[in-house]
Amino acid sequence: MKRKSRSGRLSHEEKLVDRLIVAFNSIDKHLRALNKARKSVPFPEVVATSIKRSFVTHEDGEALRTLSSIRNVLAHDKVSSHYAVVPSLHFVEEMEQLRSRIREPLLVIPTFRRKVEVVSLSDSLSSVLKTIDKRDYSQFPVYDGHKFKGLLTENGITRWLAHHVSNHLSIVELEEITVRAALREEENAQLNVRFLAGDSTVNEVKRLFACHEFLEAVLITENGSLTDELLGLATRWDIVQLH
């Protein structure tokens, strides 16, 4: 039985409770549909699966568990016509924002759409350094024609320079050094980059960076193929800026 004012309208507390339960039910229905989970599957299990499949982040997953606990109290622990707890307006609004993030997640395109500076194996290291100075880029996809060969980073360039100077004790002629040579100095060359399709979620990018410590960049193409045109690029710094 819902508590109403003398005018027959819902009280302020009742409105907050209703908004919170509506938000929870919407999230619950959406995640069960995404995971093809039956009603009999406990909500915490649905949340755990959603985190693994990048439908929600770990942070949002914790918020969902809190929301579920509060919803259970509201639904089952009423004392007469009174609720045992009443959510604050701030908490309700946060949960409604959470619902929006889950039901309408950010996609990598257009979030990370940008012109990506591409270099070839035959380009000089000097030209790459000039680009770093001019545009403040530090990750460069390397191609041999249309074939992706690796990701050249500022760290890889620094390692090449340090190795060359310490072993040869001479001034490096950067115009004569190619990207091919510097690319050999990239540590974890097979682990520092991943490709994703343009319709992937930003949550998937966050998951990749969280799970792979050597990951430097996520390259985005229409279908996630290494041979497709690059539509954008995401770095750890981009993820920090989102927050």
* pLDDT tops 50 at residue 3: no
CA–CA gap between residue 219 and residue 45 (Å, rounded): 32
The torsion angles phi and psi of 77, rounded to 5 degrees, stand at: -115, 45
Q: Are residues 202 and 225 in contact, defined by beta-carbon separation less than 8 angstroms? A: no
- What is the structure's pLDDT at 222? 96
Q: Using one digit for the tens of pLDDT, what is the confidence trace for 25-37? A: 999 999 999 999 9
* pLDDT tops 70 at residue 172: no
- Percentage, residues of the chain above pLDDT 90: 62
- What is the structure's pLDDT at 1? 38
For 157, counting Cβ atoms within 10 Å of its Cβ (0-12 exposed, 13-18 middle, 19+ buried), the class is buried
The torsion angles phi and psi of 9, rounded to 5 degrees, stand at: -90, 155
Among the residues of 145-195, which ranges form H helices?
A: 154-168, 179-183
Q: Are residues 34 and 50 in contact, defined by beta-carbon separation less than 8 angstroms? A: yes
Which DSSP string corresponds to 208-239? Answer: HHHH-TT--EEEEESBS-TTSPEEEEEEHHHH
CA–CA gap between residue 24 and residue 20 (Å, rounded): 6
Q: Which domains does the chain have, with CATH numbers?
A: 12-103 (no CATH), 110-242 (3.10.580.10)
Q: Using one digit for the tens of pLDDT, what is the confidence trace for 30-56? A: 999 999 999 999 999 999 999 999 999
CA–CA gap between residue 209 and residue 215 (Å, rounded): 6
- What is the structure's pLDDT at 161? 81
205: which 2 tokens?
Answer: 């990018």
Instruction: Choose between 146 and 219: higher pLDDT.
Output: 219
Instruction: Lowest mean pLDDT of 18-27, 85-94, 109-118, 155-164, name the range.
Output: 155-164
Instruction: Lowest mean pLDDT of 81-90, 93-102, 189-198, name the range.
Output: 81-90
CA–CA gap between residue 123 and residue 112 (Å, rounded): 26
